[in-house]
Amino acid sequence: MLPAGVPGVVAGPTTNLSIGMDYWVAPTTAIPPEHGKVLAAAATGAMVSGPLVGASEKVPSEIWLQAEYEELAQRVEALRDENAVLQAEVERIKKEYDALLALNATLKVLKIHLD
């Protein structure tokens, strides 16, 4: 704060930091009511239908969640298909492995007979 004797500066009252506190700390009965009519259904929290309410009453977060759900469902389907392909590949490799084990056992027996 500047001293009162500084030339070129108009001295005024100091500010009070509690400006508007009477509004914030006042009981709710002291606040005057707004002018206008409030529908009883709106006051109780019920849904009010009107011209702005379209066929789809979903909020943006529900639309986003639905889109994410559909995307995940498509991904699940793709992963299921890939899983089926991989399981078929594993079965083919197991059969090939068993055939190679049998061939190896046969070759060992032949080697023993040739020695």
Task: Write out the residue range of the structural domain in which residue 99 sits.
Answer: 57-115
Is residue 15 included in any domain, yes or no? no
Domain count of the fold of the chain: 1
**How does pLDDT run across 47-99, given as a tens digit for each residue?**
555 555 554 566 888 899 999 999 999 999 999 999 999 999 999 999 999 99
One-letter amino acid at 102 equals A
pTM, entire model: 0.42
Is residue 96 included in any domain, yes or no? yes
Strands (DSSP E) contained in 1-115 are none
Q: 48 and 37 in contact (C-beta within 8 Å)? A: no
Is residue 98 included in any domain, yes or no? yes
First-residue to last-residue Cα distance in the chain: 111
**How does pLDDT run across 22-45, given as a tens digit for each residue?**
655 655 555 555 555 555 555 555
Distance CA 37, CA 18 (A): 33
Q: What are the tokens at 47?
A: 């849904």
